[in-house]
Structure 1
Amino acid sequence: MSKRKEKTSHGFLNNMNFMFREQWNFEKTAFLFALVFILFDLTVSFIVIWLPKVVLDSINQSISPAAFITTIGTITIGLMFLKYWSHYSEQGVLKSAVNILNMHFYIKKDWKILDMDYSLSSSAQGKIKIERGHNATSRNIYVNMASFYPNSAYLLKAIIGFISFSAIILVLNPIIILILIISYLASAYVSFLVQRMEHSFKDVRAEIDSKLYYLLEEINHHAFAKDIRAYNMKSWINDTTHLFMDEKYRLENHIQTKHFMQGLFDVFLFMIRNGGGYVFLIWQMLTSDMTIGDFIFYFGAITGFSEWLKQIVMRFKNLTNANFSVDDYRYLMDTKDASKRTKGATLPAYDQPAELVLENVCFSYEESDRVFINQLNLKVYAGEKLAIVGANGAGKTTLIKLICGLLHPVSGRILLNGTDSKEFNRDDYYSLIAAVFQNVSLLPMSIAENITFCKESEFDTERLLDVIQKAELSENINELKDGYHTNLLPSITGNGVNLSGGEIQKLMLARALYKDAPLLILDEPTAALDPIAEDLMYRRYDKLTKNKTSLFISHRLSSTRFCDRIIFLEDGQICETGSHDELMALGGKYKEVFDIQSHYYKENSGVKLR
């Protein structure tokens, strides 16, 4: 299957069935609003072209003023009534589209992004899928996938109006209809070609937008502000931003040029069809017994007929665009996870440390030819404390992501207590692991919720206080007015507080302890701390992680001396393994790196030499 067919595999009728089914299940009254709107608006359209004929015929027939006022007044009042309910029901259609977008599609899309396999969401193709999914559910219902609903109602109304006005014009002359239809079919075909062309650039547009938005978001991130000023990055940021914007401008300019040419073609067709129709109508009036009232009526019918055809073309164009957005949305939602999401293998006991075995594990990213983990074999014994060290790019973080189940081996197996990790339900497997990564996440909610990920009414207070004390965070929290109820991230919560680097690491320790999983993984969580603070933090982990299997990564080799065993990674392979003393006696890579670091830090003190 080709890449393009894979991305637009549903088809218009399939997408229509999908959208209407979703709407019916979400809010059935939307269909009632649509039917009322179509019926009443069509009636208004007929009255609008019929009323001038009634007025002119009444004057021509010299009816009494009372009868004239009664007739015209009744029609006017009825028209106002119909116009009001037409507008009201139209707003109901639009409101229903907004509701299903914000309360259904948007939420499902965000949940899919949060829930899909990390390996998929972090890949280049996955990021394009996500960006296209975001675009498909953009908040403007006139252009996103939810525009399918109002445009369907408008199109149905235009088709009925077209058929009805065709019947009127047939009485005059069927040739006029033929001319109008041919011109609008030509316009519709050109419109379809332009829309298809624009859709073909969606991947390119998504890639450019992703780069541009990422850069703009980083500029506005408070953590990046110091670097911008310290390194005078303004010129580089400005040049890079302009580079991306120029790339986006060239793409958008190419697309808009096609739309402009389409517009010129539509103007040309308008002059032919409407001008020809009006000339023919004037000729009929001059050569037949057509009354002024009939002339106005047919004139309005031709104008209305043209408007219905215009609406059909425009709504078809909008529906084509909406159809592509629906495909983008479904393309994201249909993404299959590589992990097992159904019932999996029986989980090991949570109160017992886990044994971990890696057999001939290989891994490389889809976008890279480089092998990051190469035929790696490793056994981590139950209850063992294992340190993973090595130079940057050695494969440490990739190895941890594989063990966590965030990435999947290209070949080989990862066994937990003798069971292949891929046989476990993905979320069940995650429950066995308490991981603390270098880039930690704080959420705009209370300290307690950041530790427990439970609502305040649901967490175990006794357990929460215990882990806060064990993480030595009690003193910091007691100084706060609201204690562990205090919100974090004041830029969002308003009445929150910011934590220091050390306090954040203590909170991460409390979070890991609260989860109380049998496998603890620390991926350089203390990289931002000074050596003394890092040493103290690892001592806390050593003390508080008894009866657990623990994996530690640190760029400071002295911090992991408390571990039972250390492995030294290089080019995705284990080149040395043993205790600290054994590796120092070996005199290999580990000792070389340790000796280099010892030039900057006094052994066991962490004080920088000068």
Structure 2
Amino acid sequence: MEVKEQLKLKELLFIMKQMPRTIKLILTLERSLFLKLIFFSVITGVLPIVSLYISQELINSLVSIRKDVSIVITIFLTYLGVSFCSEIISQISDYYNGKFQLNIGYKLNYKVMKKSSNLALKDFENPQIYDKLERVTKEISYKPYQIIQAIITMTTSFVTLLTSIAFLMSWNPKVSLLLLVIPVISLFYFLKIGQQEFFIQWKRAGQERKSWYISYILTHDFSFKELKLYNLKDYLLKRYWSIKKSFIAQDTKILRKKTYLNLIYEIAVQLVGAVIIFIAIMSAFAGKIMVGNVMSYIRSVSLVQSHSQSIMTSIYSIYNSNLYMNQLYEFLELEEESNQLSNQAKQKVDPLHSISFQNVSFTYPNQEKQTIKHVNVTLQKGERVAIVGPNGSGKSTLIKLLTGLYEVQQGDIAINRKSIKELDMDSYMKQIAVLFQDFMKYEMTLKENIGFGQIKKLNQTQSMYEVLDIVKADFLKDHSSYQLDTQLGVWFDEGRQLSGGQWQKIALARAYFREASMYILDEPSAALDPIAEKETFDTFFSLSKDKIGIFISHRLVAAKLADRIIVMDNGEIVGIGKHEELLKTCPLYKKMDESENYMNPLEEERSKWKEAQYQG
């Protein structure tokens, strides 16, 4: 929905028409509690006029010429009974209200997280969808509840307003209707401010995300070293406060408008109320009505004033929050990955024995240049393949297409001679284990960090110890306190921080814990020392035997050991073959080899030692 700053009647009607949809959503999540709250809100709305009528009769019985003590006591006891019932109902309603607020917030947040997990990777790389997600998640804990609270409050106020108007109309219909004129006129202006307030919030979602990010890097451990060393604190704080100052100015402007409107409204309502009360007093003075009636009419006017204001505030809140709800609906209606939506009708995948890229091309959204161009290559079971090339050559994009994280736009990928578009992607992904360059460091237990590789085996602790031995995570054995239930990271109590290389070993264990038929390593040596790097490739070559093994690297030392090397540049494959063959046929590969060998004597000796280790 396009949000405009000018309020028009058709837009107001459109927003209010969303109410049934919102109520339907709430009934789906919390039907029983919602219906209970509506029931109690109706009872709560009737009780004030009942109490008012009883107090009127009590006063009239006291000033009556023919006083009867038994009648006075009966009315008094009835008044106490209504008061006690009102208090009991209020407490029960507050209990259900609190329970409803807890449940609806958690359930809607769960719904949003579930939706997010079903989106495609390209959605998380789209700033517009990120802004939409920011708007939704920022207010998910209270905006939907705010609507329901407004509906309940409006229901109570509406019942009280109707009964109060009816009570006054039994005395003077024309004067009673006068009380409704000002709220109706004021409603339009309240809603206009509501739209302006929402528009401000909607427009600044991108800046909100920037301020959140600045706050995030200023308050977490991963960034502390650079912030301290480069003295970035003052610069980042200044940027954060600059954003927030503009927010304060915007919010203050809206607050000022609301205050002015409320003041004008209250003055007008008080003047009308004063006229009605004056008429009631003069009627009593003339002997047309009793003193108790005057008191009840004064209270009725007060009830009409307060509850008409409450209704307007509720409508304002519903309107403003429904604008938010439209954003929520738009997010929940985002297209999910087509493969995930139709998995039941697609073919299950057996262990992989061949993968063939068939004239595959790919372009990122909002970009004209193709990242992958007409790629044709086949990978076979039992083959270890290295993919090399400069930064931006398309290596990582190729892997994302291969693993199903991106959908193929042009061409096709044949998996076991079947189109990837015809496969059940869940079963296909179960055959793949990947160590990404930007692998996750789960601030959870060691058991979870490994077990996430194959969640169904989360309780197979013996297998976890075995895979830790395979990746040679000796740093864990050096500490007897490191058990599988050890908390890793520093975000939570008793967490143990690890170095970059140690975290990578854990991520490698997670990948190998998966019973896959294709193993992929994306720049596995980035955080490793030479010995650890050699161990990593030894393990990779061992575990990927009789399987499909792929690794991406900028360096050629390990690539020389692969069965085949694929050289990429500007999204194209510019060479395929063994090391010696590529030196003769691929100019880019030859240049990479020469650059790698152009080192000072110390680095050259280190390179020779490293290559000897690999060969050994």
Instruction: Give runs of aligned pairs for residues 17-36 of structure 1, distance below 5 A.
Output: 17-20=21-24, 22-23=26-27, 26-36=30-40
1:361 aligns to what?
361
Compare 429-438 and 284-293 and name the one that shifted more.
284-293
Q: Deviations over 1:230-286 (max 9, x none)?
A: 222223312322343244345434544543443344345434433443344344445
Q: Are the structure 2 counterparts of residues 357 and 455 from structure 1 closer, same or farther at C-alpha, using a change threshold of 3 Å?
A: closer
Measure how far apart 1:579 and its partner are: 2.4
Asked whether the equivalents of residues 161 and 308 of structure 1 are also in contact (C-alpha less than 8 Å), the reply is yes
Runs (5+) with no aligned partner, structure 1: none
Q: Deviations over 1:38-74 (max 9, x none)?
A: 21x2343124433543343233126769547724641
Asked whether the equivalents of residues 120 and 337 of structure 1 are also in contact (C-alpha less than 8 Å), the reply is no
Q: Are the structure 2 counterparts of residues 254 and 406 from structure 1 closer, same or farther at C-alpha, using a change threshold of 3 Å?
A: farther
Asked whether the equivalents of residues 467 and 510 of structure 1 are also in contact (C-alpha less than 8 Å), the reply is yes
Compare 12-21 and 538-547 and name the one that shifted more.
12-21
Measure how far apart 1:300 and its partner are: 1.0
1:325 aligns to what?
324
Amino acid at match of 2:466: D
Amino acid at match of 1:131: E
Task: Give the alignment partner of residue 108 of structure 1, picking from 111, 126, 131.
Answer: 111
Task: State how far apart, in whole Å, the 2-side matches of 1:15 and 1:463 are.
Answer: 53
Amino acid at match of 1:561: K
Instruction: Give runs of aligned pairs for residues 546-561 of structure 1, distance below 5 A.
Output: 546-561=545-560
Measure how far apart 1:227 and its partner are: 0.8
Structure 2 residue 274 is matched with structure 1 residue 270: no
Runs (5+) with no aligned partner, structure 2: 5-10, 612-616
Q: Are the structure 2 counterparts of residues 449 and 148 from structure 1 closer, same or farther at C-alpha, using a change threshold of 3 Å?
A: same
Compare 403-412 and 452-461 and name the one that shifted more.
452-461
1:242 aligns to what?
241
Instruction: Give runs of aligned pairs for residues 2-41 of structure 1, distance below 5 A.
Output: 12-20=16-24, 22-23=26-27, 26-39=30-43, 41=44
Structure 2 residue 81 is matched with structure 1 residue 82: no
Measure how far apart 1:562 and its partner are: 1.8
Asked whether the equivalents of residues 443 and 487 of structure 2 are also in contact (C-alpha less than 8 Å), the reply is yes
Q: Are the structure 2 counterparts of residues 43 and 339 from structure 1 closer, same or farther at C-alpha, using a change threshold of 3 Å?
A: closer
Q: Are the structure 2 counterparts of residues 248 and 573 from structure 1 closer, same or farther at C-alpha, using a change threshold of 3 Å?
A: farther
Q: Are the structure 2 counterparts of residues 258 and 545 from structure 1 closer, same or farther at C-alpha, using a change threshold of 3 Å?
A: farther
1:170 aligns to what?
169
Amino acid at match of 2:92: S
Asked whether the equivalents of residues 527 and 555 of structure 1 are also in contact (C-alpha less than 8 Å), the reply is no
Measure how far apart 1:37 and its partner are: 4.0
Q: Deviations over 1:149-172 (max 9, x none)?
A: 232222122222222111112123
Task: State how far apart, in whole Å, the 1-side matches of 2:472 and 2:268 are.
Answer: 78
Compare 9-18 and 72-81 and name the one that shifted more.
9-18
Q: Are the structure 2 counterparts of residues 3 and 258 from structure 1 closer, same or farther at C-alpha, using a change threshold of 3 Å?
A: closer
Asked whether the equivalents of residues 36 and 86 of structure 1 are also in contact (C-alpha less than 8 Å), the reply is yes
Measure how far apart 1:131 and its partner are: 1.2
Task: State how far apart, in whole Å, the 2-side matches of 1:403 and 1:279 are.
Answer: 82
Amino acid at match of 1:433: I
Instruction: Give runs of aligned pairs for residues 445-524 of structure 1, distance below 5 A.
Output: 445-453=444-452, 459-473=459-473, 475-481=474-480, 484-489=483-488, 491-524=490-523
Q: Deviations over 1:539-582 (max 9, x none)?
A: 32122211221221223332322222223322222233332222
Q: Deviations over 1:349-401 (max 9, x none)?
A: 22x444232423122233x4443223333333333322222222232222222
Task: State how far apart, in whole Å, the 2-side matches of 1:311 and 1:38 are.
Answer: 15
Task: State how far apart, in whole Å, the 2-side matches of 1:305 and 1:540 are.
Answer: 79
> Normalising by the residue count of structure 1, what TM-score does the alignment of the two structures yield?
0.88
2:95 aligns to what?
92
Describe the SS at the equivalent of 1:398: helix
2:57 aligns to what?
54
CA RMSD of aligned residues (A): 3.1
Describe the SS at the equivalent of 1:443: coil
Q: Deviations over 1:504-529 (max 9, x none)?
A: 22222222222121222222243222
1:541 aligns to what?
540
Task: Give the alignment partner of residue 133 of structure 1, picking from 108, 133, 136.
Answer: 136
2:153 aligns to what?
154
Measure how far apart 1:217 and its partner are: 0.9
Q: Are the structure 2 counterparts of residues 284 and 69 from structure 1 closer, same or farther at C-alpha, using a change threshold of 3 Å?
A: closer
Amino acid at match of 2:157: A
Task: State how far apart, in whole Å, the 1-side matches of 2:175 and 2:271 are.
Answer: 11
Q: Are the structure 2 counterparts of residues 22 and 470 from structure 1 closer, same or farther at C-alpha, using a change threshold of 3 Å?
A: same
Task: State how far apart, in whole Å, the 2-side matches of 1:429 and 1:118 are.
Answer: 17
Describe the SS at the equivalent of 1:406: coil
Task: State how far apart, in whole Å, the 2-side matches of 1:250 and 1:302 are.
Answer: 38
Task: State how far apart, in whole Å, the 2-side matches of 1:179 and 1:597 are.
Answer: 89
Task: State how far apart, in whole Å, the 2-side matches of 1:591 and 1:136 are.
Answer: 56
2:348 aligns to what?
347
1:196 aligns to what?
195
Compare 227-236 and 20-29 and name the one that shifted more.
20-29
Measure how far apart 1:224 and its partner are: 0.5
Q: Are the structure 2 counterparts of residues 242 and 14 from structure 1 closer, same or farther at C-alpha, using a change threshold of 3 Å?
A: closer
1:386 aligns to what?
385
Structure 2 residue 576 is matched with structure 1 residue 577: yes
Task: State how far apart, in whole Å, the 2-side matches of 1:261 and 1:595 are.
Answer: 75
Measure how far apart 1:26 and its partner are: 3.6
Describe the SS at the equivalent of 2:339: coil
Q: Deviations over 1:410-435 (max 9, x none)?
A: 33323322222232233223222211
1:289 aligns to what?
288
Amino acid at match of 1:120: D
Q: Are the structure 2 counterparts of residues 176 and 524 from structure 1 closer, same or farther at C-alpha, using a change threshold of 3 Å?
A: farther
Describe the SS at the equivalent of 2:520: strand
Task: State how far apart, in whole Å, the 1-side matches of 2:290 and 2:398 are.
Answer: 87
Task: Give the alignment partner of residue 118 of structure 1, picking from 118, 121, 131.
Answer: 121
> Normalising by the residue count of structure 2, what TM-score does the alignment of the two structures yield?
0.87
Q: Are the structure 2 counterparts of residues 59 and 534 from structure 1 closer, same or farther at C-alpha, using a change threshold of 3 Å?
A: same
2:527 aligns to what?
528
Q: Are the structure 2 counterparts of residues 274 and 489 from structure 1 closer, same or farther at C-alpha, using a change threshold of 3 Å?
A: farther
Structure 2 residue 300 is matched with structure 1 residue 301: yes
Amino acid at match of 2:348: L
Task: State how far apart, in whole Å, the 1-side matches of 2:557 and 2:506 are.
Answer: 23
Task: State how far apart, in whole Å, the 2-side matches of 1:280 and 1:253 are.
Answer: 41
Asked whether the equivalents of residues 387 and 553 of structure 2 are also in contact (C-alpha less than 8 Å), the reply is yes
Q: Deviations over 1:131-154 (max 9, x none)?
A: 12213412x4xxx10223232222
1:376 aligns to what?
375
1:605 aligns to what?
609
Task: State how far apart, in whole Å, the 1-side matches of 2:384 and 2:211 are.
Answer: 43
Asked whether the equivalents of residues 449 and 510 of structure 2 are also in contact (C-alpha less than 8 Å), the reply is yes
1:588 aligns to what?
587
Describe the SS at the equivalent of 2:349: coil
Describe the SS at the equivalent of 1:550: strand
Task: State how far apart, in whole Å, the 2-side matches of 1:457 and 1:9 are.
Answer: 53
Q: Are the structure 2 counterparts of residues 272 and 403 from structure 1 closer, same or farther at C-alpha, using a change threshold of 3 Å?
A: farther
Asked whether the equivalents of residues 34 and 93 of structure 1 are also in contact (C-alpha less than 8 Å), the reply is no
Measure how far apart 1:437 and its partner are: 1.0
